[in-house]
Structure 1
């Protein structure tokens, strides 16, 4: 059964704004709870075919849990997802700008005042849809130019959750790289190492010793990062590979191949065209599957080694007795996004948004049975 959440536990004044919890329900039975603190997916409850719902994302049962817990748990990550090496941003004229750092020497997941730490404005609430907004400001993250993001979340009848955004650059050229950071577990409890994962990607981005990209691309053939055929996550994590040692586990960016999008989810009123399959995650015991579709060129696959059974950070809801002390691998993140550290690597595709320019992007999680 899905854990019953208390809305009151998420209502608080924070940063001079009101936080809240919103529950979206789709005609197919999918139920999604979202907090406007960090635009977080607090709960994704999937019908089990027997009249019950099963939580398939890790989460806490109160706002305080998110304030004290894993920083990225369930959040929308921006303005720049991933790391920017040494906190540096190469500007279009070739000069370097120093940004605030928050992960050793690096600017990570938007820096110390990124979107995961912000209260989003609530613009519209429907039974199956929610619209939030946030303006990334140069004074918060050091990146030139402000950008206003409107985030639309909608649960559709085919048991899919659409996260779609429009982003408008304001005043000056700027960059944007958004992703979702939900930790998925399709079994609802225990390790995800028995899940199988398929990612249609022939290349990945190797990491340097500082856990930032080398700037090159490498073939996945013969590496732990070859998910072109579905394989167990635990099998990949158990391989002996220098890249796994550098990252502390599986935490790498895979570049998606060109593909036929004829099986993409139906485009909703909020979702732009151009979706392609980023990942297919399956749990063979329960028979649950999740397709991840996105407009991004690649996906960061993080197998959750940062979950360390720390009672201060890793005690979330989910166990039958009320709480679950998360172990390494109890959740897996599939984060469609732009190339990591792209502004600092000329070979990686990226673009600056000109003032007044609007960019649209989306991630769709679609749930089904095997």
Structure 2
């Protein structure tokens, strides 16, 4: 991680981002490093709005899907760029048990709670720390989720810090505490298209995932409880592999997800340090995204449910499979009594997690 010095560049700038439906003023915070890379973040949902990175010729292009104003983020159903919480993933029937106490969570799908429920972390205005310095490419946002929020027990105080280094790394750090045992599973839900957010489908992107095993899903998109080897399956990304090789295959898991949408169990991950998790390469531009994380699993999701009816930044119509998500998190399968990783948050055990996105170009 770089140690910052003062360069002839404005490290942090702030712009208005429109008003919410309740009259709150949202803002857009732009981080810039000495190489000209830029990352824009809104305080609504603590969402990443844009990431401008260079291609092999040095040309900067925005490589994540997003919107031009807060109103569009309020209407968004895809979690574009958002912090997902309290709980990333699906909870069957919204039913959880903690310390022998049963809780009924709110449902935002017919048979489950998805990504924390209604008005979850992606639909609130986060507080921005006031000690902002223009010579720092760093931003910290905080949110207090009250006891009973979407049915979850305990008050949760959460912060996310975005740090843009001069080595073209975007580091995302989460911290959370609670006053009562609860569940917590946070992730970052940026949609990447390394050719540019307006460049159509990502089938030609090459993917590598540091995982020898994945979790099959049932037809309701819940893990079955099985752990399967990726070898000789459509889910084998141990070497760089174009998404196009299997994304339209007749593999049952591909058919269930309409593309890729599974957990991979990251190898050599002990939760106490960052581990190489995945890589994406766009061969025409030469852009490379390498992701490190301290989480034991990740989801590769290929924007299978974006239907081509929504417009994003610069009035671009986003299409099915027009991006990919790499979502580090804790795979938690409570189906049939299986539990693959602990998502309990205890009052005396703060949650800390780091995702590191390293942007480069092929030699």
User: Does 1:364 find its partner at 2:359?
Assistant: no
Give per-residue Cα distances to partners, 1:302-339, cap 9 Å, x unaligned: 011111111xxx2112xxxx432112111101100011
1:92 is displaced (CA, Å) by 3.2
Take 2:178 and 2:201, find their aligned partners in 1: how far apart are those partners? 41
1:113 is displaced (CA, Å) by 2.4
Q: State the match for 1:268 in structure 2.
A: none
Q: State the match for 1:26 in structure 2.
A: 33
Contact 1:138/1:146 (CA < 8 Å) preserved in 2? yes
Of 240, 248, 253, the match for 1:243: 253
CA-atom RMSD, angstroms? 2.2
Of 189, 208, 214, the match for 1:204: 214
1:71 is displaced (CA, Å) by 3.7
User: Does 1:99 find its partner at 2:98?
Assistant: no
1:167 is displaced (CA, Å) by 0.9
State which drifts further: 73-82 or 272-281: 272-281
Q: CA 1:18–1:345 in 2, change beyond 3 Å: closer, same or farther?
A: farther
Q: TM-score, normalised by structure 2?
A: 0.89
Take 2:117 and 2:49, find their aligned partners in 1: how far apart are those partners? 22
The number of aligned residues is: 345
Matches within 5 A, 1:85-124: 85-93=92-100, 95-124=101-130
Q: What runs of 5+ residues in structure 1 fail to find an aligned partner?
A: 262-271
Q: TM-score, normalised by structure 1?
A: 0.88
SS state at 2:253 partner: helix
1:216 is displaced (CA, Å) by 2.0
User: Does 1:141 find its partner at 2:133?
Assistant: no
Give per-residue Cα distances to partners, 1:4-33, cap 9 Å, x unaligned: x9933x132555643111000112322000
Take 2:46 and 2:189, find their aligned partners in 1: how far apart are those partners? 10
Contact 1:205/1:254 (CA < 8 Å) preserved in 2? yes
State which drifts further: 37-46 or 345-354: 345-354
Q: CA 1:236–1:138 in 2, change beyond 3 Å: closer, same or farther?
A: farther
Contact 1:195/1:233 (CA < 8 Å) preserved in 2? yes
Contact 2:214/2:263 (CA < 8 Å) preserved in 1? yes
1:51 is displaced (CA, Å) by 5.2
Contact 2:158/2:174 (CA < 8 Å) preserved in 1? yes
Q: What runs of 5+ residues in structure 2 fail to find an aligned partner?
A: 1-12
Q: CA 1:224–1:233 in 2, change beyond 3 Å: closer, same or farther?
A: same
Contact 1:149/1:166 (CA < 8 Å) preserved in 2? yes
Q: State the match for 2:8 in structure 1.
A: none
User: Does 1:80 find its partner at 2:87?
Assistant: yes
Contact 2:188/2:328 (CA < 8 Å) preserved in 1? yes
Of 195, 204, 208, the match for 2:205: 195
Take 1:31 and 1:309, find their aligned partners in 2: how far apart are those partners? 27
Take 1:130 and 1:345, find their aligned partners in 2: how far apart are those partners? 40
